[in-house]
């Protein structure tokens, strides 16, 4: 058993979101056989606006300050490993390694942050520079770096010349689910899961405008603050905000739609859909990092015409709301039972 300091900027018990679900998975995997001290940077982040701007000069990103850096260094004294749960805090890897050269540091890349930030903030060059610098430090000072998928591995190698030590995909703890035995409806209900976030809004707005008028479906949108989003109106559309338990909604859906064109990393909602054994129609971005047969899981589409064609043909290709192939892919590749072993391997002989 090892003593591990785990560092993040999220409340480990916060309201569910994609990034938080991955963090919680990482936390649960690490504490299976280890003693974990969890440090939330925001718990000690109380500084003025001027200080925040000054921090940028030192490469300190979101939630990082001199005060919590010193607390991190103090906590490191009695730790065997340090787990930094985001490459945007590469500065921490740098200062920890400089003070404790023998301390083992692992940085988990939720995505290639620099590529992601360029999409979300294309004109914020300062932010882009700081993120890129932190990823560079993460690659230079971490003993191991972990990515979610092969695309991120290639991007990081291209940008920083560092080869990721492990690919650990998104995974879920399997639920005791009562799977629907119902056949696909005459007017299928499509379900979109996602919070009020720029990539989700961009994708679903495009879908409502370019696809929904030309297909015979009902569309239900579920996600935090999506009921507050400024989306186009349609008689075919129902928008609901945050839902604590998705079981019934997921079972009632004939298929999931993922019109996602922006973002990075792996999409948590795709793994969730696999766990529930759902039919899926989405973009290559939505399926990024997942090893699936698109014909068996549903369809991969990039244009409005492809979405329209696939949705209109869906009732002819799929009989049941439950997709056995999707479920089997989850059990074989993306369940915690399968993925947790990779965490154990990280602390093995490779460090010796």
Segment-wise mean pLDDT, segments of 10 residues, the chain, 352 residues: 92 75 92 91 76 81 88 95 96 97 95 86 89 97 95 94 95 82 91 89 96 96 89 92 86 95 85 95 94 96 97 93 96 93 74 43
Rg (CA), the chain: 21
Q: Which residues contact 349 (CB under 8 A, 6 or more apart)?
A: none
Tokens read off for 122:
């294309």
Q: Looking at residue 348, what is its pLDDT?
A: 67
Give which of 274, 267, 272, 275 is closest to 293, Cα–Cα.
274
Strands (E), 160-200: 166-167, 189-193
Give which of 286, 289, 4 is closest to 298, Cα–Cα.
286
Strands (E), the chain: 3-8, 35-40, 81-84, 104-108, 144-147, 166-167, 189-193, 218-222, 237-240, 255-258, 280-282, 298-300
Same topology, domains 3-173+336-351 and 189-333? Answer is yes
Tokens read off for 14:
């916060």
Give which of 336, 321, 335, 320 is closest to 250, Cα–Cα.
321
Enter the DSSP assignment of 338. H
Residue 339: CB atoms within 10 A of its CB come to 17
Q: Looking at residue 352, what is its pLDDT?
A: 40
What angle separates helix 18-31 from helix 336-346, to the nearest 10 degrees?
Answer: 60
| CATH placement of domain 189-333 | 3.40.50.2000
Q: Looking at residue 14, what is its pLDDT?
A: 75
| CATH placement of domain 3-173+336-351 | 3.40.50.2000
Q: Looking at residue 17, what is its pLDDT?
A: 65
Rounded Cα gap, residues 345 and 230, in angstroms? 46
Total residue count of the chain as it appears in this document: 352
CB 92 within 8 A of CB 58: no
Q: Break the chain into its structural domains and give their ranges.
A: 3-173+336-351, 189-333
Rounded Cα gap, residues 292 and 333, in angstroms? 10
Give which of 2, 79, 5 is closest to 41, Cα–Cα.
5
Q: How far apart are the first and last CA of the chain?
A: 16
**326 φ, ψ (degrees, to nearest 5):** -55, -45
């Amino acid at each position: 058993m090892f003593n591990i300091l785990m560092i993040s900027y999220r409340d480990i018990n916060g309201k569910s979101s994609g990034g938080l679900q991955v963090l919680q998975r990482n936390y649960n995997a690490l504490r299976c056989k280890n003693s974990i001290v969890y440090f939330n940077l925001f718990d000690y982040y109380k500084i003025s606006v001027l200080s925040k701007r000054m921090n940028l000069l030192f490469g300190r990103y979101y939630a990082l300050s001199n005060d919590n850096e010193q607390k991190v260094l103090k906590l490191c004294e009695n730790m065997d490993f340090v787990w930094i749960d985001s490459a945007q805090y590469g500065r921490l890897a740098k200062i920890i390694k400089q003070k404790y050269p023998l301390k083992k540091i692992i940085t988990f890349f939720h995505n290639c942050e620099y590529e992601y930030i360029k999409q979300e903030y294309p004109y914020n060059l300062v932010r882009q520079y700081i993120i890129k610098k932190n990823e560079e430090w993460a690659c230079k000072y971490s003993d191991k770096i972990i990515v979610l998928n092969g695309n991120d591995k290639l991007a990081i190698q291209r940008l920083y010349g560092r080869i990721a030590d492990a690919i650990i995909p998104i995974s879920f703890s399997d639920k005791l689910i009562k799977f629907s035995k119902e056949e696909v409806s005459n007017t299928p209900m499509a379900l979109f899961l996602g919070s009020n976030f720029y990539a989700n809004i961009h994708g679903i707005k495009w879908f409502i405008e370019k696809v929904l008028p030309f297909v015979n479906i009902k569309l239900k949108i579920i996600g935090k603050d999506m009921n507050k989003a400024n989306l186009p109106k349609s008689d075919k559309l129902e928008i609901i905000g945050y839902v604590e338990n998705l079981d019934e909604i997921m079972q009632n859906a004939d298929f999931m739609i993922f019109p996602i064109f922006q973002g990075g990393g792996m999409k948590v909602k795709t793994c969730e859909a696999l766990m529930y054994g759902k039919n899926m129609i989405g973009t290559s971005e939505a399926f990024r990092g997942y090893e699936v047969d698109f014909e068996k899981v549903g369809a991969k589409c990039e244009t409005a015409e492809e979405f329209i064609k696939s949705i209109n043909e869906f009732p002819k290709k799929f009989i049941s709301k439950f997709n056995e192939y999707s479920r089997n892919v989850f059990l074989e590749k993306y369940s915690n039972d399968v993925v947790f072993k990779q965490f154990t391997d990280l602390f093995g002989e490779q460090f010796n």
